[in-house]
Structure formats: C-alpha cells, structure tokens
Chains A and B, each alone.
Chain A
Amino acid sequence: MDGVFYNRFERHAHGEGLKGQSTHYCAGCGHGLVHKYLADAIDELGVQDRTIAISPVGCAVFMYYYLDVGNSQAAHGRAPAVALGHKMANPESIVICYQGDGDLASIGLAEIIQATQMGIPMSIIFVNNAIYGMTGGQMAPTTLMEQQTTTTPTGRDRLTGEPMRMAETIGQLSGPVYVERVALYDNKQRVRAQKAIKKALRVQVENRGLGFVEVLSECPTHLHMSPSDAEQWVKQEMVPIFPLGVKKDVDTEPWFNLDEPNFEPDDIVTVIGSSTESSAKGTEPFPSHIDAEDISLKFAGAGGDGAQTIAMLTTRTAINAGYDSTHIPSYGPESRGGTSYADVHIATTEVLSPASLKPHVLVAFNPQSLEKFGPTVRDGGVVLYDSTVIAEPPQMDPGIKTYGIPFTQIAVDLGKAMVKNTVALGATVAATKIFPVERFVNTMEDALKNKCALLPINREAFNRGIEAVEALDKTR
C-alpha cells in the first residue's frame, strides 16, 4: 500500500500496537481531516517526493508521524521561516507550512506576515480551532468574545482583545495569490476544504505563488463538546465571526526561479574582487624616519569629509608596498553627519594595537578634530589641517610640524569641493614622505578603476595638495 501516509507510523511511539496505524489526535479533531486532505492533494498533484511538510508546535507537532514526505519540525510560530529556508535552499521543493492559531496568529505573527507578503510559492495551511489545544485549552488570538478558556475563565472580554481574522488580514496583503477560509463541519464544507487545500498546493506546484487556507476546525476536547456539537459550534458561533469564502484569488504567471548556485572559481574570483595579476606591488623601504616599526595616523573630520576614504587609500598603499596595515573607522551614530575618525597603522611585520591613541600624523578637517586630537600627536609628529575652516589653530607643541592648508578652498577652486580629502592626502604624502607619490597614485587608480571619470580631478587635487606643502616648506 503506497500512499502519502506512511504504511506504519513508526515515529508514533515506535509504531507499537495501535499507534502504528492511528493518530495521536483526539476523537473528532479537525487536524486529522486536514492531514487527509493534504495527503490527497499531494498524491493527486504527484509531488510526494518533492514535498517538505513543516510541522508546527501545537497539536499538529507530530504531523511528521504520518505524512510520507520530507519532514521538518519548527519552533513555535516559526514554521513560515523554516519553510522559507527550505524553499530558498531548493526552489524545486514543494513546501507546506502547517500551523495552528496560536502558532500562526500569536507568537508567529511576524513570520507569517513576512512569508505571505514575500509571496514566494509556498502553501500555508492554517488550522483555526479558536483555542490552544496542545497546552490544554487556553485563549487563542482567535478565541471568540465571551468564549471560556482556561485563561479567560469568565469568557474573553475587551481586555484580551477581539478575535484575529487572519484570512482577511493575509488576503489584503499583496504577496499571496490565493487566500480562502473553509470549514469541516458538514459534507459540503469538507468538499470545499479539500478543493481549497488542493488549490493552495497547486498554485505552488505551478510556481504561481503563495496559497493560504484557513480551516475552521473542531477541538472537541477543549470545547468540552461531542464532535458533532463541536461541528455545530463552529458553524453557528465561529462562522459569523470568521466568514467562509475566497478572500483573494489572482491570476499570475509562473515566476519563482532561482538558478543553481555557482561555484566556478573564475566567477568567484571576479565577484569577490580579487585578482591574479600582481598590480605593481613590491617592497618600498619602510618609512623609518617616522617610526622604526609601527606608524600611526589619524584622519579626523565630519561625516562627508572623506577621512575614511583617504585612510583606506593609505592602508592599501602600505599593504601594496609590502607592509602590514590596518584601518579602523569610528562608526555608527557618529558616522551620521557627526564626527568621522579613522585610525591607520602601518607596521613592518604586524600591526598590534590598531587604535591611534598617540598618532605620528594627524589630518584634521575641522576645528573640533584639531582641538580633540592635536594634543595627542607625538613629539616629532606632523599635523595637517584645513585652514579654510580653521582660521586660528590652537597652539601646537613646538616639536610638532604643523601645516595649515586650505583643503576645501583648493578643492573648490578645482570645481569639486568633494575632493578636499584628496588634496589632504597629497599634502600628507608630501609632508610625511611616508611612501613615494607614485605608489599612492597607483592605489588611487586601482580604487577608481570603475569610476574613471573621477580620476583626472583626483590626480589634480592630489598634486595640488603636494604643491601646497612644498610651497609652505619653502617659506620655512
């Protein structure tokens, strides 16, 4: 006998005794019916091998005892997230996300809204029995007003809110293609439920989108009713609050398509931005006139000054020159229009502390930065600042070489205020003689290789910075 139900439910208490052929559900529970309709639909659509059923936390937690498909059991409320993971991993798989009302409409609200709004082809089966079955009859988000549960012993009231109408909520999202609410209380409703479940699967199998079926279901145990009274209760009490019918049904073309992941070495090398060719790298002498083994620089300004960019160019240049180098930015709220500091270290063999607490070189783009970090610069160090915005620099230690250069004015004269950082970089290179000019130019060309139009003006700005330092040096 080969169906979508296992021949024997070996996972149900090792399939011993009657458990090998009967479910763990209470007599008359709606879950069993929904499982049967699901099994039928999987069979008729011929997708048993490709199907992955996600069992929720709730009474349906053991759905995997029964359905002979790939099975995955999710944390409470997270079945849609697990489903998404499976579907992304294998777009060919047919993923069924099965959830109760506590699972879907309470703890897992965020996950179900995301999954349904994404609208990736999946099938969501939502069993609404107006109660928490598994934990023993507590209030669900779908519990009716005045309905007694163990956590609403005098009936649900205003304080605990009104029942959630999930089919309507999901139906008004743009993500899903098909949303319907059905019930199980008589032959007619059962036929509709079967059809709806099949359709929710079919829209996925045809790769057209996400189907969502809410099933009003009986929990005779916690309603404290016979199964047939429970059927009547669903019909008379639930249906007025949860009207049956199609909430959304749109015609779409098949669309979901993910190619097989690519593991081609050449493509990967390109994508990660690596290269095999050696771009004029080599060994420059270490700039030991600044420090014998570890040089630290600080670039400080406001967000938008471009301090990080030139710090990064300096790090790259040092690495291209054959040394270890690190760059660490200040970041977060500070980087939003506020301050923007960058610490750079260059070491003969290995940078140890990457912070520039006592820099050899400070480049300051505004008065606050100069004021804050000027005093931290080491004796014998170099300070460069933007004299366009810093008219009166604070008194510096006489052992420190100071260059006031109008970074901004020079850049504005070139027609692009943005390149003031490149002016500053040129000035820094000239004032410190850290590495040869060509090495910086190489790095810059490399960094701008996809923005060639920007290269001429940056080279010009870089040169102007060098010239400004040379002019100042002449006057000293």
Chain B
Amino acid sequence: MVTTKTDKKARPKPFLFPQFCKACGRCIEACPKDCIHVGTQIDPNSGLTPVVVELDKCNGCGLCIDACPEPYGLMPVEGEIEDMSLMDPAQIFGPRQTSAPKPEPIPGTLVPLPDLEPMVLKGTHAAAVGAILAGCRHVFGYPITPSTEGAELMAKLLPQLDGVFVQAVSEVATVNIMYGCGGAGLRCATFTSSPGFSLMLEGISYMIGAELPGVFFNIMRGGPGLGNIGPEQSDISLVCRGLGHGNTHAVVLAPSTPQEMLDLTIAAFDISFEYRNPVVIAADGYLGQMTGRVELPKTLTKPGIPQWAVYGDRAHRGNLITSIYIIEADLEIHNEKILAKYDRMIENEQRANCFRCDDAEWLVIACNTPARMAKGAVQELRDQGIKAGLFRPITLWPFPIKQLTPLLDRARGLIVVEAGPGQLEDEVRLALSHADIRNAPPFSHVRRYGGVLPQQQEIVDKVTALVEA
C-alpha cells in the first residue's frame, strides 16, 4: 500500500515512479546509506534523468522521502516493491481527484418580523440596519468621513448579535478580508468613501474574477485627491466603468433617501449572492449624514451557505476560490461566463423611479441627493405650467435605459443634474448609444463640483431658460 506520509515505525522503503522524479538530487545527499545515485537514462515521459534507487543497503530511515520535494516523487511503500513498479500509476492514484463530497446548497430563509414603528435614522445608519436585516453579520472597514458612522454603528451592534466588526489596517486589507469572508459564503460589507474605494479596486477585481459576493457602500465625497468631505458624485465613472483591472462590472445602486439606503441595502445583498458578484451602493456624503424617516421591512434574512463556498468544513472541502485561469482558452471561457452574467444583470436589474414623467417634455435626470433638489425643481416648474419630469436612475449600472426609452419620444430636452463633472451624463449618453438611440433630445446640464450640490433654483432657471429659448 502506498501512503503519502512517512510512518516511521513501519520503516517503509522508498519507491519512485521515475517519470515523477525531477532529478534534483536532494535525495542523494539525504541518504546516509548511499542508496540513491544520479541516473544515466533519460525518462521518455519527462525528458529528465531520474535518480536510481538501489535498496540493498536501505534501512528504511525515510530521510530520502522527506528530502524529496515532489508529492509523488519518492514515496514510502510497505511490502513488495517489485509489484509496485509493474502497476499503472493511474490505478494507484485512483480515478478521482478527491474524496470530498459534492456540497449541497444550504438555502437561506426569510423570517417574519413583527410590525415595527418607523425609525428615524441617518443614511449610513439606515444602511447598517438594512445590512443587519439582510443577514450580514460581518463588516470590515477603515475609517473615512463621511462613511464612518455606518462602520461605527456596526462595531457597536454586531457583537450584540454575535457578529464581527474588524477595523482593517487599510482599505486594501478590508477588501481582501471581504474576499475571505465572502469566499466562505457569508454576507459581508464595508463602508467607505471615495479615496478608500479607490484603494479597494484591485480586490474588487479579484472578487469579480473569483465570483464572490460582497456589498460596498461608497459614500462619495469631493475629489480628486483628498478633495474634501462634501457630497460629490464624481465616482460614478469609477463604479460604473472602472472597478479595477480586467473585465469588471457590478450592479451599482444609487439611493436618494435614508429609506432607500435601507431598502437598497437589502436588495444589494440578494443581488450580490444571486450573481456571485460584488454590489456597490453609491451614495453621497449628504445622504450618508442625512437623517430621515425609515420604514422597516416585514421580514429579515437568515442566510444559508452556498454550494460554492470555501467554508472550512467537510462538505465544502472540494471547493476553490480563485481568479486565476492560467490557460488562455480557460480564461476566455471564464470571461464568457462573466459576460453572460453581466448580460443577465442588464436584462433583469435595471431600476429607475419616474416623477411626473408621463407627459414630460423636459426630462430632468438626477440621482442621489441632487435628485431631491431636482424633484423640488420639477414640482416648481409644474406649478408654473412647465411640463417637467424627473427620471431618477436607481441602478447606475446597468443604466435603466428600458425605463428611459419610452419617455424620450415626448421629451424636448434632457437636463442632467449632478454634483460632479458630467459622469452621470456620460452614463446616459453611453446607454443611449448602446441602445442605438440616435435621435435623443438635446442634452443640457446643471453641474456643481467639489462638494457643492446643485440647488433647486439653478435647475428651475436652467429649464425655464430652455423653455424660453
């Protein structure tokens, strides 16, 4: 019988399939009895010159086996070695890679909640409560304003639910702890803000490559560089088009009220696990800090363990989390799989909210906090008899082109309102282009930068000017 480890008492003797010897010679020096010699014959399978083992003087000390770097190089054998050399290795090693069982998925369950009073919560706290209700008990993060309160609340609450908050040494460490925790099949999240999110990109690309779930709150702030902690929306290109290297995308959700911070957080975890892909919640600093009324859902999630998880138990022993596909053809297949997943997201996940859009001639497009100012402006314009409407994308990627398209026929102008340099407008333009819509109404915009939010009056003035032009 062949065993891979050295059973010292049994004093088995070494056996070598010559084709698995790399001729390193480590065993030659290791043998005190001079049993092993440099070979002279090239092995036709490996093209190398394996050592020659002559066991006449062998005392079974096993030192040569412990010196051989190859798992199936020198192996300890009890009994008749002659028989071994006649055997087919395939028979000895068996047909299967592993004895690990095929894992079954352990499904999660929805547990009913009692009827609860609405809460009064700030945006980051609403997200934290949403994560708890979504079954997340693992949060990792590195402090950065204006996202930190979410992490702070988690640090306080999670231990009370036997969950874990770990303050990582950096955002780089954070995303990789999430890679581990998500890889174990658990629901985990982080709260960060623009500079911190930049640091996470390599890890997010790895998570996408390894098909791991995880929820990222990016409470966007003013940039570039250290910028400031004011509310900007200038990570839209980053989250929609630049999630690290390689073929990367993730569903990006853009809440605009504390209520949506909670609701979309719950949705984010489900989407993340459904597709085995990270999900980004892109909020702005204003929304993160804003307190408002928040209704709680009727159920909470008690998560299970997915089939693919590397959980650290017998059932999941056969699993692997990796983003490496070293053979080009394999990586191409993997990318095709990922692309098909993106297609499913594009097909199923587009979300938007329309306010007075049905007969709108002037379509204001805005998300996050600027959408609130835009809504106020639309209301004011309507009071003046101007047919304005607000189209508010809730998913920034995939952009909700399905919901936008039917509104375009009636629209005389698209006014993109954003706290940033036109990144939302880029998404709208790209979405139109991908949908082959060439006769879209003309674009104009209201943009502020650096943490300054567009105000209702600016939007009203812009649209009024367009109407009068």
Residues of A within 8 A of B (CB): 1-11, 13, 15, 17-18, 20-23, 25-33, 35-36, 39-40, 43-44, 48-52, 54-55, 61-62, 64, 66, 68-75, 78, 81-90, 92-95, 110-111, 113-114, 186-187, 190-191, 194, 220, 226-228, 231, 258-263, 265, 267-269, 271-279, 281, 312, 315-316, 319, 324-329, 331-333, 350-355, 357
| Residues in chain B near residue A265, CB distance under 8 A | 111-114, 300
Supposing A28-B24, A71-B320, A81-B173 touch, asked if A274 and B119 sit within 8 A by C-beta, the answer is yes
Instruction: Report if B307 contacts A (CB, 8 A).
Output: no
B43's nearest neighbour on chain A, judged by CB, is A18
Known: A7-B94, A88-B138, A89-B180. A22 touches B373 (CB 8 A): no
| B contact residues, range | 35 or more
Does A75 contact B202, Cβ atoms closer than 8 Å?
yes
* A81/B4 in contact, CB under 8 A: no
Contacts of B122 in A (CB 8 A): 327
Which B residues, 78 to 117, have Cβ-Cβ distances below 8 Å to chain A?
89, 92-100, 111-117
B23 interface residue (CB < 8 Å to A) = yes
Q: Please, how many angstroms separate the alpha-carbon atoms of A143 and B237 in the complex?
A: 41
Does B446 lie at the interface of the complex (its beta carbon under 8 Å from any beta carbon of A)?
no
Q: How far is B94's CA from A7's CA once the two chains are assembled, in angstroms?
A: 6
Across the interface, which residues of B come within 8 angstroms of A94, CB to CB? 312
Q: Are B69 and A70 in contact (CB under 8 A)?
A: no
B272 at the interface (CB under 8 A from A): no
Write the nearest CB–CB distance from B150 to chain A, whole angstroms. 13
Determine if B5 is an interface residue (Cβ-Cβ < 8 Å): yes
Q: Is residue B379 within 8 Å, beta carbon to beta carbon, of the partner chain?
A: yes
User: Closest Cβ of chain B: how far from A272's Cβ, in Å?
Assistant: 5
Contact with A along B156-174 (1 / 0, CB 8 A): 0100111110101110111
Cβ B455 vs Cβ A22 within 8 A: no
- Give min CB distance, B209 to chain A, whole Å: 10
Would A228 and B26 count as touching, CB distance under 8 A?
yes
Q: Which residues of B contact A33 (CB under 8 A)?
A: 66-69
Interface contacts beyond A33-B69, A54-B180, A263-B300: sample of 10 additional A-B pairs, CB < 8 Å, sorted by A: A1-B3, A15-B97, A27-B48, A72-B180, A72-B310, A85-B178, A89-B312, A95-B312, A190-B67, A331-B146
Q: How far is the CA of A182 from the CA of B467 in the complex (A)?
A: 79
B63→A7 contact, CB < 8 A: no
Q: A21-B20, A187-B30, A324-B293 are in contact. Are A52 and B114 (CB under 8 A)?
A: no
Say how far B12's CB is from chain A's closest CB, in angstroms.
Answer: 14
- Supply 22 A–B pairs (Cβ within 8 Å), ascending by A: A1-B94, A7-B93, A7-B94, A10-B97, A23-B69, A28-B69, A52-B310, A70-B312, A84-B166, A85-B178, A86-B310, A93-B184, A94-B312, A190-B63, A228-B26, A262-B137, A263-B135, A268-B132, A272-B132, A326-B292, A331-B146, A332-B228
Contact of B453 with A by CB under 8 A = yes
**Highest count of chain A CB atoms <10 Å: which of B6, B68, B320:** B320
A422 to B174, CA, bound (A): 41
8 smallest A-B Cβ distances: which pairs? A85-B180, A93-B312, A32-B69, A352-B376, A28-B24, A89-B184, A81-B176, A3-B4
Chain A residues with Cβ under 8 A from B289's Cβ? Answer: 328-329, 331
Residues of B within 8 Å of A50, CB to CB, are 312-314
A8 and B97 in contact, given A49-B314, A187-B63, A331-B229 (Cβ under 8 angstroms): yes
A residues near B160, Cβ cutoff 8 Å? 267, 271
Central interface residue in B26, B157, B186, by most chain A CB within 10 Å:
B26
Binds A, one of B321-329, B332-340, B421-429: B321-329
The reply to whether A81 and B89 contact each other, CB–CB distance below 8 Å, is no
Could you tell me the distance in whole angstroms from the C-beta of A444 to the nearest C-beta in chain B? 14
State in angstroms the CA–CA spacing of A90 and B137 once bound together.
12
A187 x B67 contact (CB < 8 A): yes
Question: In the complex the two chains form, is A261's CB within 8 Å of B30's CB?
Answer: no
Tell me the smallest distance from the CB of B327 to a CB of chain A, in Å.
7
Chain B positions 286-319 with a Cβ under 8 Å from a chain A Cβ: 286, 289-293, 296, 300-302, 310-314, 316-317, 319
Nearest A residue (CB) for B145: A332
Q: From B29, B111, B311, give the contact of A70 (CB < 8 A).
A: B311
Question: With A and B bound together, what is the CA distance between A319 and B295 in angstroms?
Answer: 12
Given contacts A64-B322, A89-B180, A93-B313, contact A351 B292 (CB under 8 A): yes
Contact yes or no, B70 A71, CB < 8 A: no
Contact of A354 among B48, B186, B286 (CB under 8 A): B286
The residue from A259, A272, A275, A324 contacting B292, defined by CB atoms under 8 A apart: A324
Q: Which residue of B lies closest to A95 (CB)?
A: B312
Taking the nearest CB of chain A, how far is it from the CB of B217, in angstroms? 17
The residues of B that contact A18 with a CB separation of less than 8 Å are 19-20, 45-46
Q: Given A71-B310, A276-B117, decide whether A82 and B183 contact each other with a Cβ distance below 8 A.
A: yes
Q: What 0/1 pattern do residues 10 to 45 of B give for CB contact below 8 A with A?
A: 000000010110111110011010000000000001
Chain A residues whose CB sits within 8 angstroms of the CB of B115 once the complex forms: 276
Q: Which of B24, B95, B135, B327 has the most CB of A within 10 A?
A: B24
Taking CB atoms, residues of chain B closer than 8 Å to A66 are 71
Chain A residue contacts of B114, Cβ below 8 A: 265, 269, 276
Q: Which residues of the partner chain B approach A21 to less than 8 Å between Cβ atoms?
A: 17, 20, 71-72, 89, 93
Residues of B within 8 A of A261 (CB): 137, 161-163
In the assembled complex, the Cα of A380 lies from the Cα of B84 at a distance in Å of: 101
Closest residue of chain B to A319 (Cβ to Cβ) is B293
Set of chain A residues within 8 Å of B99, measured between Cβ atoms: 2, 68
Report the nearest A residue to B28, measured CB to CB.
A228
B22 touches A27 (CB 8 A): yes
Contact between chains at A28 and B291 (CB < 8 Å):
no
B120 close to A (CB within 8 Å): yes
Q: Which residues of B contact A69 (CB under 8 A)?
A: 317
Q: B381 an interface residue at 8 Å Cβ cutoff?
A: no
Does the CB pair A48–B317 fall under 8 Å? yes
- Asked if B415 is at the interface (CB within 8 A of a chain A CB), the reply is no
Q: Does B364 contact A (CB under 8 A)?
A: no
Nearest A residue to B108, CB-CB: A263
Chain B's nearest CB lies how many Å from the CB of A129?
A: 13
Please name the residue on chain A nearest to B370 by beta carbon.
A353
- Which chain A residue lies CB-closest to B299? A265
For A5, the chain B residues whose CB sits under 8 A away are 4, 71-72
Q: Pick the contact of B71: A35, A263, A315, A354 (CB < 8 A).
A: A35
Contact of A86 among B26, B29, B120, B184 (CB under 8 A): B184
Check: B194 CB closer than 8 A to any chain A CB: no
Do residues A72 and B322 form an inter-chain contact, with CB atoms below 8 A?
yes
B290-A354 in contact (CB<8A) = yes
Residue B273, interface by CB 8 Å: no
A276 close to B116 (CB less than 8 A): yes
Quick one: which of B71, B96, B170 contacts A23, CB cutoff 8 A? B71
User: Which residues of chain A come closer than 8 Å to B292, judged between CB atoms?
Assistant: 315, 324-327, 351
Instruction: State how many angstroms separate the Cβ of A81 from the closest Cβ of chain B.
Output: 4
Q: B216 contacts the other chain (Cβ, under 8 Å)?
A: no
Which residue of chain B has the shortest Cβ distance to A79 in the bound complex? B176
Are the CB atoms of A114 and B173 closer together than 8 Å? yes
Q: How far is the CA of A23 from the CA of B302 in the complex (A)?
A: 42
- Nearest-neighbor residue (CB-CB) of A332 within chain B: B229
B34 CB to closest chain A CB (Å) equals 14
- Among A36, A61, A71, A194, contact of B69 (Cβ-Cβ < 8 Å): A36
Residue of B whose beta carbon sits closest to that of A40:
B5
Residue on B nearest A64 in the bound complex, by CB: B320
